[in-house]
Structure 1
Amino acid sequence: MSTFRGEGPPIAGGEYSFAARVLGKATGFALFLMNALSIILIIGVIALGTGQYLAAAVSGADSKWVGVGVIVLCAIIAVLNIRTNAWVTGTCLVFEMAALVVLTVLGFFHVSRPVSVLFHAQTADSHGVLTGVGLGLVAAQMATAIFAYNGYGASIYFAEETRNAARGIAKAILWSLAITVAAEIIPMTAVVLGAPSLGALISNPAPMQYFITARGSSTLNTIVSLAIAIAIINAVVAITLQGGRTLYSSARDRAYPDPISNFFRYVHPRLQTPLPATLFVGAVAAIVAAIVPLNSLIIATGATLVALYVIVALSAIIGRINGTSSHAHYRMPLWPLAPVVVILSLGYVTYELWKGNPWQVIIAVGALAIGYAYYYVYLYPQRATRWTMPAAAHDEHAVDDAGALVMGPATEISPPGASNATEATS
């Protein structure tokens, strides 16, 4: 197994990249395949929600085809220069935060129930009648909760386009986590406490629109719904960027026959983005959104993020033990408490998911199994030239002389008989 002991920054590709170096290349590819599937499904899930909010402003908007159109638009945006995308997503974030502020103000100005309601798990039937739920159902919904908060660690996918990534990525991830938790917990607390009827809020198919209309007005609902739609578009752009870079990284690692790997590892010389990989992710996500029902997409993503978090936690434990993470600038406090808690908690969540809908677990495990099979059938027999895991470049190679961010590590380990990498250009 190739280890990752250098002083360079993390490699684009996200979780699979470090899992391959810590847990072994077979696990790395299995995680890549499951994560790639998850990213495509998540793009579809999020984009299909756009139509719900646009319908509040545009009469007759079809949720499915609006979602498909959003995916296509976001894929085109995602192939632009990373700095351009930073401006686009930053601008969208302003609208998103404004919508969250409105929800927070409306809720806290109309508090209708005590804070204690937050600590009693309840659900509502179609008539808005509240009933208590047990720990098992709460645990089963943890997969949805992870889905809601997931994304704070995505900066690692852009490590090769980030200055001083080795020292800064950990701080970026932890700050993103803190901001994400605050940006979701505070508005949701306000909504739960300030809704006219908790039963009506939970049972409503569009709970936020119900809340804004009830505590504000239909006009405010239209404005906030547009802001939320922009936020959803922002999320689709970000995840498409992430998906394009993980596919690019797998191609650079020579996961496929050479014609396919060379196609997906291509970086546009002016935009400095993995153009074919990004457009492919967008195209597949659009097709999936067009033909697969939303509920099926949600079920399919249910356990994939749980499996991803478990493998990340295992990497945090094994990497410290076998020394493959000894180069890291960041050292986890109270190791191994956090990863052990994650593994035990998500083990229970997986058990409850299996009891509730085993297909969620079957899809995740099946994707991992296919990944392992592909590795041992195709990649392992050609391990000298396939799934090569390039060495990390030093941070100064992440930018050219003009300060433009570039894709790809400057020093790729070329397998015997392979041509040198050309992605890292300046």
Structure 2
Amino acid sequence: MSEELDGELLEAAGAAGTKAPATVPDTGKYAQQLSRGLTFKENILITLSAVTPASSVFIIVPAVINGIGGASALAFVIAGVIGIFVALCYAELSSAFPITGGEYAFVARTLGKPWGFGLFLMNLVSGVLIIGVIASGASQYLGVLSSALGGGWVGIVVILVTTVIACFGIRTNALVTGIFLLLEIAALVVLTLVGFLHVQQPISTLWTPVTSGPGGILVPAAAGLIVAYTSTALFAFNGYGAAVYYAEETKNARSTIGRAIMWSLAIAVLAELIPLIAVLLGTSDMAKLVASPSPMTEFLTTEAGSTVNTLVSIGIAIAVINAVLAIILQFGRTLFSSARDRSWPDGLNRAFGHIHPKLRTPVVATLVVGVISALCLWLVPFDVLLVATSAGIVILYALVGLAALIGRINHTTDAAEYRMRWWPAAPILMIVATLVILVMTVIADWVPVAVAVGIFAAGLIYYVLYLRGKPDRWTLPEPADEELEEETA
């Protein structure tokens, strides 16, 4: 590599903070502003922390158990199969566009800029709000230690503290999330052992939909609800695609990011499905489990005692904190990427696009995401937060599948080193599955879908009124040159 090109890169991506341009001169590529220090395994650690298997099992899975009882296992199996198709699409698109903007970056480049910005806004709003939803679970599980830790203020503190940590270097965050991830997996191991050491229900429980009727008696649930609750199961697995958000900080991203996504999905499915099956087969009272607002806590207390429940609850609280940290990292980088793509007025672009000269992280964007999330948890009712975040994931998956299908047809994904198997079957099946789930979700409750579509439409309107037709806005350069970063590091 020539000394002149090295010099251009250093000037563009060096420790110049807000003065660093977003692209390397005369190349049409992003500058390497973030620190490319993550290994393949470290990327998986942060990605799995965003999936947060333990908090999914204890916070999201209970809603499925309440709705369809033992058939929740079947819903999670279906979601896992759909997840394979989703992950294949993510893997190829992420390899073609290893850009920290994530889904909006490859949807904009394959389906068109308006679709990309609509998805960006929907995803960003959902991400900011979901931080509050997850953080609210901290008080529930820390409350077993002391009633003083059971207040709503705990979630706000968790968000603010993890926001500060998220501003540190990416390798520091990989270490922190890795340690926390091991602790939450340990909690799931305990839950699994308690279940499988006390198997008391027939295997048919796992595909029999039931719910709690009058007087707490189990009554059959409609089989169609299994499909509807599959969307909740998809949400519980969601996060494995977040590996692409750290692509510009991962070594050899084009060749490793696809495998990181597939491994993250496989680990997430096993880490959530196995404990779920253990609980469903190990409970001594299925009716009480299904009727309980906290089935996992009910199960542990009944089958293993309050001491074990307390220890596991501490692990779940750690999982919640870990998830909040990982998701703030993810969406801080999303906001940074949007500023680098000149999505906002220049003053906001300079602020959100600022990279700390020593930490090489998007400090301002990260702080903004954390503070807004804390304010939402404080000011917005929990039910509203839940409604605003529950349907966006299905729309996002449908667009990712469409991008993976069209990307090969129009050759925009030709640079991908990871090529999915079963194309075009995988993206087509993914699109069909997500549309079926979307229809069933609308039938069950149209409001969450309407909210997600409304936010997406707001993004389209913003693009048309502010970004369209302006040559200095949303130029969407090519991914950064990995080789240059390695040579100049």
Q: Which amino acid aligns with 1:391?
A: E
Partner of 2:313: 225
User: For residues 125 and 289 of structure 1, what CA distance do their matches in structure 2 show?
Assistant: 33
Structure 2 counterpart of 1:75? 163
CA distance in 2, matches of 1:54, 1:329: 44
Q: 1:186 aligns with which of 250, 261, 274?
A: 274
**Residue of structure 2 equivalent to 1:175:** 263
Q: Which moved more, 1:62-71 or 1:127-136?
A: 127-136
User: Relative to structure 2, which stretch is displaced further, 361-370 or 294-303?
Assistant: 294-303
Deviations 1:288-341, CA, capped at 9 Å, x for gaps: 111222222122111100000000000010001110011111111111112212
Q: Choose the corresponding residue for 1:196, options 284, 292, 317.
A: 284
Given the alignment of the two structures, is residue 30 of structure 1 paired with residue 118 of structure 2, yes or no?
A: yes
Higher helix share: 2
Q: Which of 283, 287, 293 matches 2:371?
A: 283
Closer/same/farther in 2, CA of residues 346 and 115 from structure 1, 3 Å limit: same
C-alpha distance in 1, partners of 2:168/2:271?
A: 28
Provide the rounded CA distance (Å) in 1 between the counterparts of 2:436 and 2:270.
26
SS at match of 2:417: coil
- Structure 1 pair 218–31 and aligned structure 2 pair: CA distance change class (3 A): same
1:245 aligned partner: 333
Match of 1:356 in 2: 444
Is 1:118 aligned to 2:210, yes or no?
Answer: no
Deviation at 1:178, TM superposition (A): 0.3
SS of the aligned residue for 2:355 comes to coil
- The letter of the residue matching 1:256 is W
Farther-moved stretch of structure 1 (22-31 vs 389-398): 389-398
Percentage identity across paired residues of the two chains = 49
TM-score by structure 1 length?
A: 0.90
Closer, same or farther in 2 for the Cα pair 1:109/1:273, shift >3 Å? same
The Cα of 1:92 is off from its aligned counterpart by 0.2
Q: 2:177: which partner in 1?
A: 89
Which is worse superposed, 55-64 or 362-371? 55-64
Distance change >3 Å, CA 390–CA 63, structure 1 → 2: farther
- Choose the corresponding residue for 2:435, options 333, 347, 351: 347
Q: What whole-Å deviation, never above 9, does each CA across 1:47-76 have from its counterpart, x for those lacking one?
A: 111111111122243342111111111111
1:271 and 1:198 map into 2 onto residues whose CA distance is: 51
1:197-225 CA distance string (max 9 Å, x none): 11211221121111111111211111110
User: Map of 1:105-144 to 2, 5 A cutoff?
Assistant: 105-125=193-213, 127-144=215-232
Report the counterpart of residue 396 of structure 1 in structure 2.
483
Between Structure 1 and Structure 2, how many residues are aligned? Answer: 400
For the residues of structure 2 that align with 1:8 and 1:332, how far apart are their CA atoms? 12
Cα gap change, 1:63 to 1:48, in 2 (>3 Å):
farther
Residue number in structure 2 paired with 1:39: 127
Identify the residue that residue 48 of structure 1 maps to in structure 2. Answer: 136
Change (3 A) 1:247 1:399: farther
Q: Report runs of 4+ in structure 1 exceeding 6 Å deviation.
A: 2-5
The residue that corresponds to 1:66 in the other structure is 154
User: Relative to 1, partners in 2 of residues 1:361 and 1:172: Cα closer, same or farther, differing over 3 Å?
Assistant: same
Q: Confirm or deny: 8 A CA contact 1:163 1:396 kept in the other structure.
A: no
Q: TM-score with structure 2 length normalisation?
A: 0.79
Given candidates 351, 355, 359, the residue that maps to 1:271 is 359
Whole-Å Cα distance in 1 between the matches of residues 465 and 147 of structure 2? Answer: 52
Ranges in structure 2 where 5+ consecutive residues have no aligned partner: 1-27, 31-92
Deviations 1:132-184 (A, max 9, x none): 22233222222221211001111100000000000000000000000000000
Distance 1:352 1:294, change over 3 A: same
Q: Output the CA distance in 1 between the equivalents of 2:436 and 2:132.
A: 28
Contact kept in structure 2, 1:249 and 1:265, CA below 8 Å: yes
Which of residues 252, 256, 262 in structure 1 aligns to 2:344?
Answer: 256
Q: In structure 2, do the counterparts of structure 1 residues 400 and 239 end up closer, same or farther at CA, with 3 Å as the change threshold?
A: farther
In structure 2, how many angstroms separate the alpha carbons of the residues matched to 1:397 and 1:306? Answer: 37
SS of structure 1 residue aligned to 2:475 = coil
**CA distance, structure 1, for counterparts of residue 155 and residue 132 of structure 2:** 7
**Secondary structure, aligned partner of 1:123:** strand
The Cα offsets for residues 79-119 of structure 1, whole Å up to 9 and x where unpaired, read as 11100000100000111110010001000000011111101
CA distance in 2, matches of 1:127, 1:50: 31
| CA-based RMSD | 2.0
- SS in structure 2 of the partner of residue 112 of structure 1: coil
- Which aligned pairs between 1:2-13 and structure 2 lie closer than 5 A? 10-13=98-101
Unaligned residue ranges in structure 1 (runs of 5+): 403-426
CA contact (8 A) 1:3 1:324 kept: no
Tell me how far apart the structure 2 counterparts of residues 157 and 318 of structure 1 sit (CA, whole Å).
Answer: 22
> Displacement, 1:9?
6.0
Aligned residue for 2:472? 385
Alignment partner, residue 77 of structure 2: none
Q: Per-residue displacement from partner, 1:336-377 (whole Å, max 9, x unpaired)?
A: 112212211221221122122211111111111111110011
Q: 1:310 to 1:398 in 2, by over 3 A?
A: farther
Q: Equivalent residue for 2:36?
A: none
Match of 1:407 in 2: none
Amino acid corresponding to residue 225 of structure 1 in structure 2: S
Quick one: which amino acid aligns to residue 287 of structure 1?
Answer: L
Shift of 1:8: 7.9
Amino acid at match of 1:364: A
1:131 is paired with a residue whose SS is: strand
Q: 1:209 to 1:348 in 2, by over 3 A?
A: same
